Structure formats: structure tokens, C-alpha cells
Structure 1
Amino acid sequence: MAGRREGPLMRIGGQHSRGSRIAIAVAIGVLLGCVFAFLYPDGVIKSSRSFAGSNSARLSQVISSSCASSTERIKTLESQLAILTGKNRELSSQVNDLSMKLQIAGQGNTKALYKAGAFGTVKGFRKNPVVICDESVNPRLAKSLQQVAINNELIVALANSNVQSMLELWFTSIKRVGIKNYLVVALDDNIESFCKERDVPVYRRDPDEGIDSVAKTGGNHQVSGLKFRILREFLQLGYSVLLSDVDIVYIQNPFDHIYRDCDVESMSDGHSNATAYGYNDVFDEPAMGWSRYAHTMRIWVYNSGFFYIRPTVPSIELLDRVADRLSHEPKSWDQAVFNEELFFPSHPGYEGLHASRRTMDIYLFMNSKVLFKTVRKNSSLKKLKPVIVHLNYHPNKFERAKAVVEFYVNGNQKALDGFPDGSE
């Protein structure tokens, strides 16, 4: 069977159609080329790179700007946080002060002013607020205290010529330790001159007919009774006072070892942990049969020759009570009255003092009974370094005080050996 063959017309028509398509394709190509040439005069690849580079630079700039902005924001937030933290502390302090004032204002008020917290979270206030300074009480003393006191506190001792030797040993030990905030209240002209000649801060009281004779010629107990009246002015001026007798040797700075959390912080006449800090003493009365044993709480007295007192209302009330009783009970011992007013509770016919109190560490604030009966005989306790030693239990104070200096300051381990335990 013969194959199909195309005629002349068919061949001519097919060639014409193919040529037209090629021409159209070429025209389209030229047109697209013109368009690309117009849009991308630097070439498509270079433009793409330029575009990519531009985007990369722009992205880098955005990131850098964002980081800088974040750093500044962090700094701003940290600053704001510090400010808020400070304000929070300030507000907390104000809340505590207001709460304390509320508690004080509510004393004696039968209406409840606040409610108790959860079990185990309730704690009463021990630290009463200080009084407002009243310089009109004694402008001259106020000026002296501004020059001597540090952080509104100082050591104060009263002295007349009867204790001049002990006074010199006293302020010599204070100077040795490096204590600057101390003051001698001179009760006569001789002591005033004596202190000034030795560059010792001194304050001479204005004449007072009621007590001048006692101040100039009185013995230890009589002079000791004056201090409660004199101290009142210090507290009214807003100063905390570490009241000190002159039969004390300073080994360290006492202000580094005071808690300042109570109205009165005192050294003890106790000679052991039990006697100084309190113990349960059982009284036995066989005649009572099965109830023969009665439990009592006991504590040895605070020493009125060395105590720290804050300028609070209860503290001033304590001084007023003791001074008033001593003025009407001339045979009373100031230390006994001091403790009675500080510790006796309210009872029928008597309203007790609402003052908070703390007992000082007996091995840091050491009385001479602790030293001579216990410490010097114990190899471990002998290594302890007390803050002060008070020669309150012994009559030969000056000799024992010099021995204390030899032992604790000069390192003479045998300096205390020649003294008896007591006063025999």
C-alpha cells in the first residue's frame, strides 16, 4: 500500500506557519529583553546581590537598634526596680512605725485596734520609739553632746574628787581602746580641771543647791543616786547613754556589742548563766504535804553602775521613779530601787513599769566575781577577751583594776593570782 504524500499547497502552508511562530517568539524575546534592560540596567544578578545586601544591612541595622533599645530598656527597668525597692523599704519602715504608734496609742484602750496574725507569727514590740529632742531642756549640754556623741549615743560617767585615781584609770582604758564618744560629768571644779588638763571630754553642771553638797562630798552610793536625775536630761535631748561607774576597765569598744533592742540593757551581778539570765527555783515547805514544793522564778539583780538606756518614755519614767524614791528614801540603795522599779509587776496598789530589758553577756560584760571566782581558774575562760571588767564585788578596786590591765592588756598571765576570791 502506497504511503500518503503531501501536496505542494500543504507543504507551503506548514512552512509559513512555522516561520510565523519563530518570528513571534523572537519579537517576544526582544521585548522582554528591553523590559529587563530597562528595569535592571546593572544586570539581574548584580541587582539581586545589591538588593540582598541592602536587606542584610537593613536587617543588621534593625537588630543593632533593637539590641541598643533593649539594653536601654533593661537599664531603665533596673533603675525603676532600685527606686521601687527603696520605696518599699521606706514604706515598710513607715508601716512598722505606724503600727508601733498604734500599739502605743492603744494602751489602756479597751477597743481593739488591730487583729492578730497567724499562729507563730505574732510578736510584740520591744523597741519603743525614741522621744523628740527638746534642746530647751539644757542648751549648753545639747551643744556639748553634739560635739561628743556618735550616732546619738555615748558613755557617761559622774565623778568627784573622791574617785580621781579610779577616774584616771577609767578614761585611760577608754582612750587605749580608741573610744571617742564618752563624757565625764564633773561634780566639782577639781575634776573639771583635771579632765581638761588631760584632754578628756568633760561637762560641768550648772550649780544646783538641792544636790551640790552631795555631788561635791558624797561617797559612791550618794553620787550614784544623782545619776538618775542627771541622766534624764541626756534622754530628753534624744541621746542613748551607756552609764558607767569609774571602777570599770575597758578592754573593747562596748558599742560593738550592744543590741539596742530594748529600753534598758544592763550588765548583771549574776555569776553564772542561771543566776544572770533567770532560773526556776523550787521552794520546799514540808508542812504543806503534797503541795510542799512551790516553784519560783529568780534572777540576780542588774548592776546600776553599767547599763545602756535608750531615750524612750518608759526609760524616762524609770529614771523619774528611781530619782523620786531615792529623794524620799535616803537610806535606800539606788541599785535595789533601780531593780525593783524595773522588775516588780503591777499588783493591787501598784502600777508596774512597762519597760523592755535585756541582760548583757556575763562573760563579755564581766563583774569581778565572775572574773576572780571562775574565769581566772578556768584555762578555757581565761582565753576569752571581755568587753569590760567591773570591779563591783571587791573593795580594793584600784589594785585589782591595775591587775586587770596587766592581765588582759599586757598579757601577764599571773597578774590576777595574788588576789583572794572575795574581799578577805
Structure 2
Amino acid sequence: MAGRREPPLMRTGLGSGQPPSRGSRIAAAVAVGVTLGRVCAFLYPDGLISRSTDSALHWRRRADSVTCETSEEVTNLQSQLASLERKNADFRKQINELSMKLQLAGQGKNQALYSAGPFGTVKALRTNPTVMPDDSTNPRLAKILQHVAVKKEIIVAVANSNVKETLGMWFTNIKRVGITNYLVVALDDSIENFCKSKDVPVYRRDPDEGIDSIGKTGGNHAVSALKFRILREFLQLGYSVLLSDIDIMFFQNPFDHLYRDSDIESMSDGHDNMTAYGFNDVFDEPSMGWARYAHTMRIWVFNSGFFFIRPTIPSIELLDRVAGRLSREPKSWDQAVFNEELFFPSHPGYEGLHASKRTMDIYLFMNSKVLFKTVRKSAQLRKLKPVIVHLNYHPDKEARMKAVIEFYVHGKQNALDHFPDGSE
């Protein structure tokens, strides 16, 4: 009988009938691989995977094939973009508010502040953090302040046509000292044009019904009350403001003499160390017998015509409180309200303002009572050069202002002699 024939690749040679060896199996696999490689090379001359350059060409051809959007689609996209920008502005404002709340909530969270140190070394937090600037509050004012302010600080005066001559003396002295970061808030067109003609930085507020009528026709107290609303925008923009009435003469740059460690840093109406910085005043009531003497703490008020206010939450709350009360109590004096809100403590039915405050040096930031009652009569105090003199205690302002300039600027030693201590 004839035997079974093996496939050619399985033969071991000489028809021996032995099983195929390991080497023959490897040779067969190599032969199959070479054959498949030749077939692939013939069918896919560029390879099975396209090169990156060819891929890029394919993408470009596809991009070229995409049709451009119609004008209607473009308009729709622009409308969506505008809507998103408005929402983004709202989100930024909310983020600013939340950030400020987090800052306030985080004050004193450092463990070191909770651990009391050795006796006499413990100090509480004194300086509140500043608010996040929000240029959307008043973009026009923000642009002016970017050019005028120095280190985010600026002197601000509010004026209308009733005080034009005094205003001229005010900014003339500021220029003489070399102060550049100051701004006049004009309440009418006449003051705006006057400032521009004298190359004085000026900001004319946008029309505001009610407020504008006060600004154009109001007297000193009406205008003074208005400033608390105006200052709020400066603080929201992130600027510290040195508010100045215009019956003030400058002899040094005030920014060189500020501490900047409090929300409010104000000149005092006090005329000596006790009245300006505080004292223990004993109240005597004989009918109480053994308890007839009651000790009280007293301080003369801050002057609301010259104070430095930092852009903090307590500062803005102070402005809101004062402006709100003055709108509800039109006959109230703004300086009285200003001090009540600053100093009255919390008590049943009332939550006091948590603002830090500092009294300025009364011989550097001098009121006219200190000058005419004390300084001009002292050989030693006459040698001191004040930063400012505020003619707040006397109605004959312009005459005394000119005399003060003669005394401190031109060295005329008898310039102040003919004036009485007080008003006649």
C-alpha cells in the first residue's frame, strides 16, 4: 500500500517519515512573514500609518471644506458674548464682596495671634484690610485717579461757586508746597471751568437730581454734608482720601506725616493735649453723698473738614451711616453726626461702628483756635512749622488766611498780632 504524502514544507528530507524539527518550523514562519511583508509593501507603499505631515494636510483640506458662518450667526455670537461680559461683571462684583468678607473673617486666624505672649507684649490687630477696587463703580473717575493719585492716595476738596475766591487760595498754596496728588470735585460748571483755567485737576460729577441742587446753591454746611456721599466712590475704587475743606492752608506735604494705621485719621477741634487726646473729667453731684464724684472720659470732636480715610469696610460703613442720617435729618450738623457714628459704643438697641481711629498731632495739623489762642503767643511754638492750618474757628476766613500765609511763608512776625483770639 502506498503511504500518505506529507506537504512539502513539513518534510524533513529524504522522505524519512520523522516529525519536523524546531529549525524547520522557524524557517517556515520566516518564509510566511516575508511573503506577507511583500504583499503589504505592494498594496500600501506609504505604510499602514500616515505620516504626521500628511495628517496635517488632511486636516487642512477638511478645514478648507468647512463653510463660513453666516452674518446672522456672527450677530448671534456677538450678542451672546455681550451677555456673557455683563454676567462676568456681575460675577466680579460678587467675588469682590465675597473676598472682602473672607478677608474680614480671616483676620486674626493666625494661631500666633491667639497665643498670648509674655506680659506687656500682646497687641490686637489695628489696621483693617482695604477693599478690593471696583472700577465699574465709576469708570470716568477711576481714569482720572489713575493719572492724579500717588500711591493710591489723594487730597480731595468739594466746592461750588460760593467759595471761588477761597478755593483759589487753597489750591495756590497746595501748588506752592509741591503737592501734585489733589483733586477738586466741582459741583457746578463755573468751578469746573475755573479749575481748568488754572490747570487744577478737577472732576465734575455726573448729574444727580437733588444732590446737584444742593451742590449748586447750598451753603457751607449743605456742601459739607454732601461730601460723605461723594467720598464713597473714591473708597470703592480703592483710593485713600485726605478730605480737605478749602479754608485750609498747606505748608508741608501732609502725606509725609500720616500713620496710616487706622480707618480714620483726623485733626481735632481740641486746643491742647487734654482736649485733643482725651482726659478724665470728674462730674460732681453733691446730692449723692459718698458717691458724689463720677469719672467721665472726654475728648473734643474730630474735625470733619480734614481727615484721612482708608478704603476699608468700616470706613465705607461710616460714610453710609453719616450720609443716611443726614438725608433723614436735614437739620443735623454733619460734624456732630460724623463724631456720633464714630464714637458712640454699642448699647441696647444700637450697634456701634467698629472703626479704628487716630487723632492727628494738634501742632502739625493745627486748628485756628490753637494758632490764635496759644501758638502765636509762645516764643517756642512760633518756631514750629505746621503741616496745615485750618481756619475753622473764625468767620473772617480770608483775612486770617492771608495773614497766616504772611506769617509762615513770608516770615512777617507781626502778621497775626492784630487779630483777636476769637471772633468779634
Q: Sort the TM-score into its range (normalised by shorter chain).
A: 0.7 to 0.9
Counterpart in the other structure of 1:370: 370
Counterpart in the other structure of 1:395: 395
Counterpart in the other structure of 1:199: 199
Write the distance in 2 (CA, Å) between the matches of 1:179 and 1:102.
37
Letter in 2 for 1:304: S
- State the secondary structure of the residue aligned to 1:413: coil
Cα deviation digits, residues 339-382 of structure 1 (max 9, x gap): 00000000000000000000000000000000000001111110
**How many residues are paired up?**
323
Normalized against structure 2, the TM-score is what? 0.74
1:102 Cα offset (Å): 8.0
Letter in 1 for 2:371: L
Counterpart in the other structure of 1:343: 343
Write the distance in 1 (CA, Å) between the matches of 2:164 and 2:361.
29
- State the secondary structure of the residue aligned to 1:151: coil
Letter in 2 for 1:356: S
Counterpart in the other structure of 1:258: 258
- State the secondary structure of the residue aligned to 1:179: coil
The runs of 5 or more residues in structure 2 that have no matched partner are 1-99
Cα deviation digits, residues 316-337 of structure 1 (max 9, x gap): 0000000000000000000000
Counterpart in the other structure of 1:176: 176
- State the secondary structure of the residue aligned to 1:117: coil
Letter in 2 for 1:422: G
Cα deviation digits, residues 200-221 of structure 1 (max 9, x gap): 0000000000201000010000
Counterpart in the other structure of 2:6: none
Write the distance in 2 (CA, Å) between the matches of 1:225 and 1:101.
29
- State the secondary structure of the residue aligned to 1:242: strand
Counterpart in the other structure of 2:62: none
Matching of residue 215 in structure 1 with residue 219 in structure 2:
no
Does the 8 Å contact 2:173/2:251 carry over to 1? Answer: yes
Counterpart in the other structure of 1:269: 269
Percent sequence identity over matched residues? 80
Matching of residue 146 in structure 1 with residue 154 in structure 2:
no
Q: How does 1:272-291 map to 2 (within 5 A)?
A: 272-291=272-291
1:120 Cα offset (Å): 2.4
1:119 Cα offset (Å): 2.8
Write the distance in 2 (CA, Å) between the matches of 1:321 and 1:116.
35
Counterpart in the other structure of 1:321: 321
Does the 8 Å contact 2:158/2:184 carry over to 1? Answer: yes
Letter in 1 for 2:419: F
Counterpart in the other structure of 2:167: 167
- State the secondary structure of the residue aligned to 1:270: coil
Write the distance in 1 (CA, Å) between the matches of 2:412 and 2:259.
32
Counterpart in the other structure of 1:407: 407
Counterpart in the other structure of 1:137: 137
Write the distance in 2 (CA, Å) between the matches of 1:121 and 1:280.
26
1:180 Cα offset (Å): 0.3
Write the distance in 2 (CA, Å) between the matches of 1:413 and 1:117.
53
Structure 1's consecutive aligned runs of 4 or more residues displaced over 2 angstroms after TM superposition are: 100-104, 113-121
Letter in 1 for 2:416: L
Counterpart in the other structure of 2:357: 357
Write the distance in 2 (CA, Å) between the matches of 1:122 and 1:386.
34
Letter in 1 for 2:286: P
- State the secondary structure of the residue aligned to 1:300: coil
Counterpart in the other structure of 2:334: 334
- State the secondary structure of the residue aligned to 1:171: helix
Letter in 2 for 1:122: V
1:126 Cα offset (Å): 1.2
Write the distance in 2 (CA, Å) between the matches of 1:284 and 1:276.
23
Closer, same or farther in 2 for the Cα pair 1:192/1:102, shift >3 Å? Answer: closer
Does the 8 Å contact 2:103/2:129 carry over to 1? Answer: no
1:125 Cα offset (Å): 1.1
Write the distance in 1 (CA, Å) between the matches of 2:377 and 2:335.
29
